[in-house]
Amino acid sequence: MTDTTGYDIADALGLLLRRGTRARLYTHLTEGLGEAVDELTYPVLSGLARTGPLSAADLGREIGLDRTTVTRRADRLETAGLVQRQPDPVDGRATLLTLTHQGHGTVAVTRQRFVTAIEDSLASWPEADARTFARGLRRFVDEGPFAPQRD
Amino acid sequence: MTDTTGYDIADALGLLLRRGTRARLYTHLTEGLGEAVDELTYPVLSGLARTGPLSAADLGREIGLDRTTVTRRADRLETAGLVQRQPDPVDGRATLLTLTHQGHGTVAVTRQRFVTAIEDSLASWPEADARTFARGLRRFVDEGPFAPQRD
DNA sequence: AGGAGAAGCGTGTGCGGCGCACGCTAATCT
DNA sequence: AGATTAGCGTGCGCCGCACACGCTTCTCCT
């Protein structure tokens, strides 16, 4: 019999990467967190959480957006009190984007919601299967064909 | 010790769903297939491949886009010879969007590239592990918290 | 040491994706 | 048959995005 492993994974990933899936996910994760947090601004927020204080240009490189786009999204988040700007003490040209306390809290909430949703869906799995799957997924994503930028 | 399964999966999925990942994937899959096929038009193409001939309105519901957006993307694909319009024989108001022979070919190429990339990245895995992972991923996506629209 | 060029920032502007709203035709329902 | 519903194309307006400009600050070379 022929091996369908690649096709099975392709189907599953295809579904996962669909627009509707992403939209539903964002809607659920950011619900009730204020209108400043949406599918557009969240990557700025979570990028900052990942990297720590960063200039708009650097953050743009990190998340694959133009510097000016990052600036304007950060404007909204700053107005909402989730992000703060401060002059870089080391470089007088640069402005560092930083998460406020509330900003950290917002990221923590969305991340926790994400984890909870995953754990709920894994609740019916034998624990060993769940662990195996988690390890496999991590490996697949980390060394996968299109995951991190290696350049 | 605490269980980190949910966090591991969340991290991996987070990386997978990032903008940059998606962009790199689309770039690779659609390379050299003509400028009509890109991240915007491809969902129309693959949606049609999935469902068969469909009206713009129905296809819009399928892929989560406004009817008019689908119409305009289909215009480009039609110009490029990948999609064809024909009046619905059953409903005089409707226009069915259909893949041309070339359109089917384009979808086949991208899908094959996707499968190949996945299989390449799995080449170093023990075959049993790869199969287990594929089964797990399918299950996770199918019954997962945000996969198919159940409404 | 000082001037040139590079690198940071904000913001004005143009392009393009998106969906609402309009006017139309065809189907359906009473 | 008339009214309502559902399909289509297309003209807007809105907004995300990045390029381009002018400015400040750093860095580097002479």
Question: Could you tell me if residue B34 is inside a domain?
Answer: yes
Number of domains, chain B: 1
Asked, for residue A9, whether it belongs to a domain, the answer is yes
Candidates A116, A121, A140; nearest CB to B133:
A140
**Is A10 close to B115, i.e. CB distance below 8 A?**
yes
Mean pLDDT in chain B? 93
Q: With a 7 Å cutoff on the CB, does B68 touch strand C?
A: yes
- Helix (H) or strand (E) run with residue A38 in it: none
Going residue by residue through chain A, which has 151 residues, state the pLDDT in tens, using 9 for 90 and above: 678 999 999 999 999 999 999 999 999 999 999 999 999 999 999 999 999 999 999 999 999 999 999 999 999 999 999 999 999 999 999 999 999 999 999 999 999 999 999 999 999 999 999 999 999 999 999 987 776 543 3
CA dist., res. A139 & res. A143, Å (int): 6
- Domain assignment present for B59: yes
Rounded Cα distance, A63 and B61, in Å: 30
Question: What's the CATH code of the domain at B75?
Answer: 1.10.10.10
**Domain annotation covers residue B42:** yes
pLDDT greater at residue A147 or residue B65: B65
Q: What is the per-residue pLDDT for B8?
A: 95
Q: Is B121 part of a structural domain of the chain?
A: no
Where do we find the tokens 């790869």? B130
Residue of A nearest to B141 (CA): A12
A11 CA vs C26 C1’ separation (Å): 38
- pLDDT for A143 equals 84
Percent of chain B with pLDDT over 90: 91
B76-111 core/surface letters (b: 16 or more CB in 10 A; e: else): bbbebebbbeeeeeeeeeeebbbbeeebeebbebbb
Q: Domain range holding B64?
A: 18-103
A148 lies in some domain: no
Q: What share of chain A is helix, strand, coil (3-state, %, to 5)?
A: 60, 10, 30
Per-residue model confidence (pLDDT) at position A2: 76
- B46 occurs within a structural domain: yes
Asked if B144 contacts A137 with a C-beta cutoff of 8 angstroms, the reply is no
Q: Chain B contacts of A113, Cβ < 8 Å?
A: none
Is A50 inside a domain boundary?
yes
